Amino acid sequence: MAKSPQIAVIQFPGINTEVETCREINRAGMKAHLVRWNERASTLKKFDGFVIGGGFSFEDRVRAGIIASLEPIMQAVKEEAARGKAVLGLCNGAQIVVESGLIPGITGEKLAMALARNKRVQDGKVLGTGYYNAWVKMKCVSKRALFTQHFEEDEIIDAPIAHAEGRFTSELKEMLEDLHKNGQMVFRYCGENGAMSFAYPTNPNGAVYNLAAVCNPAGNVMAVMPHLERAPRASAKLFEGMRDAILERKQGDVKGRIPRLNVKPLSAELSKFEPEKQAFRFTIELKITDNTAETVNITLQRLGFENVSVARATHVEVVTSGKVDSDKLAKKLIKSGVLMNTNKEVARMEGEERAAADDVQSISLLVRDTEDFLGAAKTATLRQRLKMSDVTEVRIGTLWTISISTKSTNVAEQTLKKLLDTHIFFNPHSQRGVRV
């Protein structure tokens, strides 16, 4: 009798579904082992498969999944996945494997997708954004993933979702078509009778192709946003499929040609910020410790960027209807409490930036979501509730001040390019970065 597959459940700080994930793995006849993110990467070699569960790894700092994806243990997971071992990402785990490049699995494991902020769309209007939890229906539209062998093709299953950034999207439109052709689109959100509609509530987060789960070309890695481990019927089929596929692989029964996803990733080149003429700008900084910036600094140090430190601020651009007293309007906006919390934040008008030391090259990077839902919400509040008709549009972004300890501009530019290659500051499939 074959030995039960041994499964590592990777525990990052903030992951909070390890108990039910381990329970479901064990219920399927496998043996779950909790492996913490800071254990030796070599520990993973003895396991037959890996599951990264849901929660809020590193409190979703910067964006969901990115910090965990840069931890050393994920490099070991990549190496084991390349050997054909099973890797399953559930909810936050899905965000982590997407940010790591394991999904959709283009050549070189380059970043090719994003799990962007949710948007609930109906009749062309965005009804809501951000965190959303509900039970949804999804259809198994492909059996390429090894986890799906116990699902029927076109089978409709029920499962809960609970996420703020679960909208599968990519700027590589041809690649999305390839995913469809390759059968890498595994589960798609659907209605009661299996019909596909982009509209909410059938599509609960605005994902392209109604995507709920995507696998890599080989089918041994899958990212799924719904919490299948919380849906007993679906969970049994998911983990029993994983079990049987692992046992088949051990016996050498895995067959099938693996398609390639040889796609050119997006360039990390930055354009220059072009300010709106009829607008003024200011930044909002925390008076208290900025844990997000501290986490980025720690991560960059661990990645070898010892001469780099970062600071973070919220960047606000207020577009106006015409000639206004920008200082007066800015004070009114700040006092309103819509844009900031004066108890823990301080505003600085454009031009009040601090000078860098002589031996430090300072680079300002502005990151905005491709779809600025936060800015749109602030605009609506100011115009409709507070009757600030002079405000035409508010644009919200994150301003990163990157300090590089060097006197050489060339060294600073080379370092910046390496930093951008980590994608720690922004995902180009859902965000835009410009130099200020």
In tens, the pLDDT along 191-247 reads: 999 999 999 999 999 999 999 999 999 999 999 999 999 999 999 999 999 999 999
Look up the CATH number of the domain holding residue 69.
3.40.50.880
417 plus 286 within the same structural domain: yes
For 284-347, the DSSP string reads EEESS--HHHHHHHHHHHHTT-TTEEEEEEEEEEEEESS---HHHHHHHHHHHTSS--TTTEEE
Q: What is the pLDDT of residue 251?
A: 67
pTM of the model: 0.95
Whether residues 42 and 187 share a domain: the answer is: yes
- Give the range of the structural domain holding residue 310, as residue numbers without chain letter: 271-435
Interstrand relation of 132-140 and 156-163 (parallel, antiparallel or unpaired): antiparallel
Query: Same structural domain for residues 183 and 288?
Result: no
Q: Report strand pairing: 114-116 vs 49-52.
A: unpaired
Return the minimum-mean-pLDDT range out of 80-89, 178-187, 281-290, 345-354.
345-354
Same domain for 226 and 149: yes
Considering the domain boundaries, does residue 15 fall inside one?
A: yes
Residue 278: is its pLDDT beyond 60?
yes
How many folded domains does the chain comprise? 2
138 and 179 share a domain? yes
Catalytic residues, which ones?
Answer: 91, 227, 229
Length of the chain: 436
Cα–Cα dist 108/263, whole Å: 9
Q: Look at residue 261 and tell me if it is in a domain.
A: no
User: Does residue 258 sit within a domain?
Assistant: no
What b-and-e string marks burial along 373-396, b requiring 16 or more CB atoms within 10 Å of the CB? bbbbbbbebbbeeeebebbbbbbb
Count how many Cα atoms sit within 13 Å of the Cα of residue 289 in the half-sphere of its side chain: 4
Same domain membership, residue 244 and residue 304: no
Does residue 1 lie in a domain region?
Answer: no
361 shares a domain with 311: yes
In the chain, the largest separation of any two C-alpha atoms, in whole Å, equals 80
- Residue 245 maps to a domain: yes
Q: 287 and 244: one domain?
A: no
Residues 196 and 238 reside in one and the same domain: yes
Kindly state whether residue 365 falls inside one of the protein's structural domains. yes
At 253-274, the pLDDT tens digits run 544 557 788 888 887 779 999 9
Q: Does residue 257 sit within a domain?
A: no
Dihedral sign from CA coordinates of 250, 256, 262, 265: negative
Tell me, yes or no, whether 125 and 236 share the same domain. Answer: yes
Residues 73 and 14 in one domain: yes
Q: Over the stretch 340-392, which tens digit does the pLDDT of each residue have? A: 999 999 999 987 666 666 789 999 999 999 999 999 999 999 999 999 999 99
- Per-residue tokens: 100: 């790591």
Q: Phi and psi dihedrals of 369, rounded to 5?
A: -65, 145
Q: Do both 145 and 232 map to the same domain?
A: yes
* Torsion, CA 397, CA 398, CA 399, CA 402, rounded to 10: -150
Q: Does residue 265 lie in a domain region?
A: no
